[in-house]
Chains A and B, each alone.
Chain A
Amino acid sequence: MSEALPAETVLDVKNLQTVFFTNSGLFRAVDDVSFTVRRGETLAIVGESGCGKSVSALSIMRLVPDPPGRIVGGSVTLEGTDLLKLDDAAMRDIRGNRISMIFQEPMTSLNPVIRIGDQIIEAVRLHQKVSSKEAWKQAVDMLRLVRIPEPERRAREYPHQLSGGMRQRAMIAMALACRPALLIADEPTTALDVTIQAQILALIVDLQQRLGTGLILITHDLGVVAQTAQRVIVMYAGKKVEEATVESLFETPLHPYTRGLMASIPAVPSPDAREDVRLIEIPGMVPSLTKLPPGCAFAPRCKLAVDRCRQEYPPLDEVKSNHWAACWRAGEMAEAS
């Protein structure tokens, strides 16, 4: 990364391991994943459904449902504190205060029987000693900050009276009410109309920059990544398979899986195109996490796979400067490009 001023690290995740105990066996939803987020920086986590990106986020929040899930290893250091060593009460002080999370489903993520304003107030008053009057004022200010028209009136309304986009704005207001050091946005725009998606993304990025918040943006949409993130990690079957700056990743994706993801972004066909263009897909399915192949988990779907890929898991190597990939053939790809 060619940044002039190295900003302070807000979050440092090291060798995180989260497993789930299910009837069909134990599976490693997050397997030895490490990454950092700096103040004001956006880190995108990309991958297909079930690759472990949401579980990584929930592990940072320590909200993985237990049972069946459990964090079994690694460390999650936020502003110098290892969150995995905190007791429950101390962790509650962190949640919603130093780290906040925005979820995928704005329609169901707000409590239907509590007024919008009261839900924001709750986030404020859990962490700050303010009067209810002051908290209400803050809630209205937050709604104004996320550009909800008529914030005083909206604060008194219930979630069902707001559209999906408005609800996601309210979620953002709630998440940022205590000015957290880190914001985790788990597919914040997936459930929204395309026209609203861009607005919400722009809002998140704008507020993040204004407030200096570190942002983890979880998405499967590489277009979103290109627009918003500075660094990207790509996850596959619970493991980090590639990490790079946005420029480097889009210029020379080194992992075949990342290449597959990029190739499957549908291009807008030109109006005079004669034939229907078939969408490109990655063949096969994400493997079941309880029955992972011995070597690289992506090998069964990979056109470039060689025998070694099926036997040994490739290490995550820094193939280019500030660009890591876990692929036996990443070196060849770096040279070829």
Chain B
Amino acid sequence: MFAYIVRRLFLMLVTLFGISVIIFVLLRVVPGNIVDILFDAAGFVDPADKANLERELGLSQPIVIQYLHWIGGLLHGDLGYSYVSEKPALEEILPRIPITARLAGLALLFSASIGIPLGVISAVHQGSKLDYALRVVSLSGLSLPSFWLGLLILMASVSLFGTMPIFNPNPKTWLEALSIYAVPAMAVGFRSAALTMRITRSSMLEILRQDYIRTARAKGASEASVNYHHALKNAVLPVITVIGIEAAFLIGGLIVTETVFNIPGIARFLVEALRWRDYPIVQNLVMFIAVVVVVVNFIVDMLYAAIDPRIRFGD
């Protein structure tokens, strides 16, 4: 097990290195850099000024040098300066992380706490009206784009209550905080909840046919114990995988949701930075997201071993 973890950590480093190269190269393949954009906007181009600015920002150096410069800085905790705000990238990124983290965490919590029980109910009552209703709702969850759902929620909120939740960086009560985050989290988490429900349902249907479920009933276990203790514990593995993948996928949904709900999180910030070719911000943010995804994957694998005793790594 220890050897396995060490090997996994090493592989994570390799993965992150690969990602860093890909981000770095892709960013520079995209036509135009911040200097082009600034000068285009000004409508006046003096090639000497432009070259000066590029030299100042380090953009005239060979790409390998630029890369080493970035990685070297990264290893020392120096993420460089935002081209746009000229503030340290770290100062720009750090305060935005908790906002998105809360949103993503709430969305995942929403998808697990709604999706798993509904999936179990749907499987246990397979073929009933309730099952069909839940499956239709989950299908709509998979088909609705989250930005559209977000817009619908905002419009409904305005027409029903005459107001809509507006982001406030310093909510006074936890209730206010919850109301700020819960609605966008639901908009973005609806899809995950629907997917989680469907996976839970199909996994449960498979498990409920197993012999050990009959054994549990033969012992005199109640239906609740059979479904949630005996069956769900076995059925939850693929669900965890899906939630893990969703955690990574969520960032895409968050970009539009943060825009629709006007929330200053990292997802929206990433798109803005990309528009300005603000390399230090984009590179470091994507790198951060990559680290999160890789770590989530690692946690999912560890959870597998924790839940299913048949899975032991590194033997």
Contact = CB atoms under 8 A, between A and B. Distances in A.
A11 interface: no
Given A63-B214, A160-B310, A113 B219 contact: no
B217 interface: yes
Contacts of B219: 95-96, 100, 122-123, 126, 174
Contact of A61 (B211, B218, B233): B218
A127 B220 contact: yes
A96 B210 CA distance: 18
A108 B212 contact: yes
Nearest to B218: A101
B230 interface: yes
A199 B215 CA distance: 22
B216 to A, nearest CB: 7
A109 interface: yes
A105 B219 CA distance: 16
Given A112-B234, A113-B309, A160-B309, A94 B220 contact: yes
B234 A111 contact: yes
Interface string B203-229: 000000011101111111110000000
A93 B222 CA distance: 10
Contact of B215 (A92, A94, A110, A126): A110
Interface in B233-251: 233-234
* Residue of B217, B218, B221 with most chain A CB atoms under a 10 A cut-off: B218
Nearest to A157: B309
B224 to A, nearest CB: 11
Interface in A127-179: 127, 158, 160, 171, 174
B167 to A, nearest CB: 43
B310 A122 contact: no
Given A158-B309, A160-B310, A96 B212 contact: no
B209 to A, nearest CB: 10
A30 B211 CA distance: 22
A126 B221 CA distance: 7
B307 A93 contact: no
B234 A113 contact: yes
B308 interface: yes
Interface in B145-166: none
Contacts of B221: 92, 96, 122, 126
Contact of A112 (B217, B218, B309): B309
Interface residues of B, number: 19
B216 A111 contact: yes
A174 B210 CA distance: 18
A114 interface: yes
Please classify how large the interface on chain A is, using the bins under 10, 10 to 19, 20 to 34, 35 or more. Answer: 20 to 34
Contacts of A109: 211-212, 214-215
A108 B209 CA distance: 11
Interface in A34-93: 61, 63, 92-93
Contact of A93 (B216, B218, B220, B310): B220
A294 to B, nearest CB: 35
A112 B220 contact: no
A63 B234 contact: no
A97 B215 contact: no
Contact of B211 (A95, A108, A158, A160): A108
A96 B309 contact: no
A105 B218 contact: no
Given A96-B218, A174-B219, A103 B309 contact: no
B215 to A, nearest CB: 5
A112 B222 contact: no
A114 B222 CA distance: 17
Contacts of B217: 63, 95
A273 B233 CA distance: 57
B210 A108 contact: yes
A312 B217 CA distance: 40
A160 B212 CA distance: 13
Residue among B210, B214, B221, B308 with the highest chain A CB neighbour number at 10 A: B214
Given A112-B309, A158-B309, A160-B309, A100 B218 contact: yes
Nearest to A61: B218
Nearest to A126: B220
Interface string B285-315: 0000000000000000000000111100000
B204 to A, nearest CB: 14
Nearest to B307: A113
Smallest CB-CB A-B distances: 3 pairs: A96-B219, A96-B220, A95-B220
14 contacts: A92-B220, A92-B222, A93-B220, A95-B218, A95-B220, A108-B211, A108-B212, A109-B214, A111-B212, A111-B230, A122-B216, A122-B221, A160-B309, A171-B215
Given A95-B218, A123-B220, 8 more contacts: A92-B220, A101-B218, A109-B211, A109-B214, A111-B230, A111-B234, A114-B230, A123-B219
Interface of A: 61, 63, 92-97, 100-101, 103, 105, 108-114, 122-123, 126-127, 158, 160, 171, 174
Interface of B: 210-212, 214-222, 230, 233-234, 307-310
